[in-house]
Amino acid sequence: MSDETYRARNPGAGGETHQTAQDDQVLTTQQGTPVADDQNTLRAGLRGPALIEDFHFREKIFHFDHERIPERVVHARGFGVHGVFETTDSLADLTSADIFQRKGRRRRCSCASRRWRARRGSFDLARDVRGFAVKFYTKEGNWDLVGNNIPVFFIQDPIKFPDLVHAAKPEPDRGFPQAQTAHDNFWDFISLTPESMHMIMWVMSDRAIPRSFRFMEGFGVHTFRFLTKDGKSTFVKFHWKPKLGLQSVMWNEAVKINGADPDFHRRDLWDAIGAGDPPEWELGVQLFDEAFADTFDFDVLDPTKIIPEELVPVRIVGRLVLDRSVDNFFAETEQVAFLTQNVVPGIGFSNDPLLQGRNFSYLDTQLKRLGSPNFTHIPINQPRGCPVMNFQQDGHMAMRNPIGRVNYEPNSWGGPRESPERGYRHFEQEVAGATRQIRPESFADHYSQARQFYLSQTPVEQKHIGDALVFELSKVEREDIRARLVSHLVNIDGDLAKTVADGLGLAKKPAAAKPFVAVRTDLEPSDALSILKRLPADFRGRKVGILITDGADADLLNGLIAAVEKEGAAYEIIAPKVGGATLSNGVLQPAMQKIDGGPSVLYDAVAVIVSEKGAALLAIDKCAKDFVNDAHAHCKVIGHTAEAADFLAKAGIAPEDQDEGYVDLAAGPKGFIAACRAGRIWARELKTDLDAVAPK
């Protein structure tokens, strides 16, 4: 294939989305040098490593890394905690990494989750990608496993990262919108970047509005390598699996949570650890060799692709327990520095171009954000359990320097020396091919896995993806951008494209965008990609909101509390006054929330235990009626006493509206807990949402 033909077919090297200069407005470097290719970094061969010679990429990422001080450019809104990692399955035959040598080996670690687009002061439950980063303090140095709660990314080449973030962040002429992508710039960029379509399916799904950090998966995103001492390589992709299972919230619910408690995710993790119920994840790995990589339908170096778990099962090799909150937020969360380049002997990199660019970029970022090349002297970033010995010296905030006269190597005075036996060895590989700014044709399929993800969802989850796209694109002012995005959806699923086109009121559904390669329709759906297909069997880790009034049945309330605690769930008492309510036995039951400040969106299920007099008072209170109305609209299980019937009716919930999710507590709490274990009553959404349609 000639370079011209290849370039025409290659999305990152030209083709339909390539924008040529107009009116002599040629893109240049800061030095005024005209730029020939702003889509691809320079690399050795089609699938080879990135080259430091690429001065345009170096300048572009350097400038981007230094745009903000002192806040992080991306992932500014976050929360950090400490934990313990335990190896549960030895990988000594695959890697020399000390942390994986023996079953039962335990290491302290720090973990942080951060919102991708948010500023520090934004709310927790925006629709967004969540970072998921763990710093392992090993005997061989710090290993940072830096990832997200979504296993793919928007772009294939790191040179586009500044453009992606600029497009997603507040528009520069107005400084808004904040912490959201529902605006023209983002969707303009996305609609001109078809490689992002797989990621868009994930971000528009319920994965982007998780119930809390505790119910969120984590992924290393890229393909890494395990390396043995004799140089044997095995490809690896990392997965974090929450022991509590996956759970998200509904969009309407997320909007209201942000108003009621903008720190909802932070508070949830803090409360769980403080209550002695530390969340736990299993570390899993997908392992495969060059032979599998060569036969896989997609390129394992493409960060916009996954390897379905049905093809390569996830092998569980460890457990992470987050058991301690930080002592000082600034010192241990704001100052923590995660770098993809931080690996230990036995763990290496693939030629994934986005990973190569991140390795280059992250160190540069820390220099600007933390103000010194000595950021590893900050306690949270210091290696633990291993010595640090080198001849680096001086710089701002230097806390350790060489002692004596020698500060160079080699020298004849003594001091640390390299160790061929113990030192880090990079994977040795043959690299051949012309240096060029171009992407391999194996990166050119942008729709097939996006289609696979969408078809792997339940009808409810598919509806939510459609709803999210309609909401986001409804905020876009330019109709041509909306139509252009829908043209990509046609390649993913015709019904989805029609749903979005109808929801936007487009007069005519756009024709399909021309794909660079034919869209595959033979990829099997994967249950691992769905949240609702893998619901947990219990209600552990969730929270029940119990609304009470004066005169509420004391025995019934106490029995419900005992059942909730036995299940491993939490509860909060809500009352008309935060001081509490006097129960039927004359005992004052303290409340944790006043009804105005404890809306049902804060809870996974609710119960209403009231007296007749109390129910009559609640029936005239707007917040109390909103409490049950929102719980109903958000498809939650609602436990209630007979005395609550009139209150529910006056709130607009007639007896005929009450489904199997309404549980009479008079028979005891057993039925309520059983209903909670089953999750939300999704059939109810068909009756409470104007856009809902019955699944085919």
Q: Is the pLDDT of residue 696 over 50?
A: no
> CA of 412: how far to CAs of 335, 405, 415, in Å?
38, 11, 9
CA 162-168-171 angle, to 5 degrees, is 100
Torsion of CA 513, 516, 521, 527, to 10 degrees: -90
**CATH code, domain with 175:** 2.40.180.10
| Residue whose C-alpha is closest to residue 119's, from 192, 68, 184 | 68
At residue 476, the pLDDT reads 97
Separation in Å, CA 588 to CA 499, 548, 551: 53, 11, 10
Q: End of a domain among 370, 405, 429?
A: 370
Q: Is residue 206 part of a domain?
A: no
DSSP helix/strand/coil, 344:
coil
Last residue of a domain, one of 353, 370, 387: 370
Beta-bridged to residue 283, according to DSSP, are: 240, 318
Residue with tokens 């710089």: 395
Q: Are 208 and 250 in contact (CB under 8 A)?
A: no
Residues 410-422 have pLDDT tens digits of 888 888 888 888 8
DSSP helix, strand, coil percent of the chain (3-state; round to 5): 35, 15, 50
Active site residue 75: yes
β-pairing verdict for 233-242 and 218-219: antiparallel
Name, in order, each residue with C-beta under 8 angstroms of 211's C-beta and a sequence gap of 6 or more. 247, 248, 249, 604
Q: Look at residue 288 and tell me if it is in a domain.
A: yes
Q: Give the confidence band of 4 by pLDDT, cuts at 50, 70, 90.
A: very low
Q: Is the pLDDT of residue 400 over 90?
A: no
| pLDDT, tens digit, 9 for 90 and up, residues 603-648 | 999 999 999 999 999 999 999 999 999 999 999 999 999 999 999 9
pLDDT exceeds 80 at position 582: yes
Whether residue 454 is predicted with pLDDT greater than 90 in this model: the reply is yes
Question: How far lies 545's CA from each of 575, 595, 605, 628, in Å?
Answer: 10, 10, 6, 11
Asked if residue 325 is part of any domain, the answer here is yes
Question: Is residue 277's pLDDT more than 50?
Answer: yes
Residue 127 lies in a domain: yes
Residue 63 has pLDDT above 70, yes or no: no
Residue 1 placed within a domain: no
In this prediction, residue 365 has a pLDDT band, given cuts at 50, 70 and 90, of confident
CB 315 within 8 A of CB 287: yes
Q: Contact 639/607 with Cβ under 8 angstroms?
A: yes
* Angstrom distance (rounded) from CA 186 to CA 478: 12
3-state per-residue secondary structure call for 506-554: CCCCCCCCCCCCCCCCCCCCCHHHCCHHHCCCCCCCCEEEEEECCCCCH
Mean pLDDT of the region 331-341: 90
Q: Which residue has the tokens 């390795």?
A: 359
Least reliable range by pLDDT among 178-182, 311-315, 617-621: 178-182
Supply the range of the domain harboring residue 656: 539-688
Q: Which of 75, 446, 634, 640 is catalytic?
A: 75
pTM, full prediction: 0.90
In a domain, 3, yes or no: no
Phi, psi for residue 496 in degrees, rounded to 5: -65, -45
- The whole-angstrom separation of Cα 248 and Cα 215 is 8
pLDDT in tens, 533-544: 999 999 999 999
- Cα–Cα distance for residue pair 672/560, rounded to 1 Å: 9
- Examine residue 453 and state whether it is found in any structural domain, yes or no: no
Helical segments of 153-250, H only: 161-168, 184-191, 197-203
In the predicted model, is pLDDT for residue 74 greater than 60?
no
- Distance CA(332)–CA(202), nearest Å, equals 30
Determine the pLDDT at residue 67. Answer: 61
Whole-Å CA distances, 366 to 70, 97, 329, 355, 495? 10, 25, 18, 17, 45
DSSP string spanning 387-448?
--------STT------SS--SSS-SS------TTTS--PPP----S-EES---GGG---SH
Task: Give the phi and the psi of residue 331 in degrees, each rounded to 5.
Answer: -65, -35
Alpha-carbon distance 197 to 452, whole Å? 12
Q: What percent of the chain has pLDDT over 90?
A: 69
CA distance 661 to 684: 9
| pLDDT (mean) for 515-523 | 97
Q: Which of 370, 405, 435 is the last residue of a domain?
A: 370
CATH assignment at residue 577:
3.40.50.880
CB 580 within 8 A of CB 561: no
161: DSSP letter: H
Would you state the pLDDT for residue 310?
97
Measured CA to CA, the distance from residue 51 to residue 2 in angstroms comes to 24
Closest CA to 635 of 664, 602, 659, 670: 659
Q: Which of 10, 40, 148, 351 is catalytic?
A: 148
Q: Residues of the chain with pLDDT > 70: what percent?
A: 91
Q: Write down the pLDDT at residue 692.
A: 62
Q: Is 339 exposed, middle or buried (0-12, 13-18, 19+ CB in 10 A)?
A: buried
From CA 373, how far away is CA 366, in angstroms rounded? 8
Our answer to whether residue 640 is catalytic in this structure is: no
Count of structural domains, the chain: 2
* pLDDT confidence of residue 75: 53
pLDDT at 402: 79
- 308 vs 9: which has the higher pLDDT: 308
Q: Is residue 391 part of a domain?
A: no
